[in-house]
Amino acid sequence: MTDWTRVKWTEAGQVVAQAAEDTPEEKEWSLAPSAYFTHLRAKDRRADAVKFLALALPRLEAVAWAARAVRDIKTSAEPKPEQVRALRSALLWVSDPREPRRRAAHEAAQECNPASAECLVAMGAFCSGGSIAPENCPPVQPPRNAAGLFASGAVISAAAASPNMRAALDAALDEGARIARDGLEAGQ
In the chain, what are the domain boundaries?
1-183
Q: How far apart are CA 9 and CA 21, in angstroms?
A: 18
Q: Give the range with max mean pLDDT: 20-29, 30-39, 162-171.
A: 162-171
Question: pLDDT digit string (tens) for 110-133?
Answer: 999 999 999 999 999 999 999 999
Of the listed ranges 57-61, 75-79, 104-108, the least confidently predicted one is 75-79
Please check the confidence at residue 109 and state whether its pLDDT lies above 90: yes
Q: Are the C-beta atoms of residues 65 and 54 closer than 8 Å to each other?
A: yes
Average pLDDT over residues 7-36: 82
pLDDT band at 25 (very low <50, low <70, confident <90, very high): low
pLDDT band with cut points at 50, 70 and 90 for residue 1: very low
pLDDT above 70 (res 44): yes
Q: Mean pLDDT throughout 141-151?
A: 96
Of the candidates 5, 16, 10, 29, the one whose C-alpha atom is nearest the C-alpha of residue 148 is 16
What's the mean pLDDT in 153-172?
Answer: 97
pLDDT at 29: 78
Across 54-65, average pLDDT: 98
Cα–Cα dist 90/82, whole Å: 12
What is the rounded distance in angstroms from the CA atom of residue 143 to the CA atom of residue 187? Answer: 29
**Is the pLDDT higher at 13 or at 94?**
94
Give percent of the chain with pLDDT exceeding 70. 94
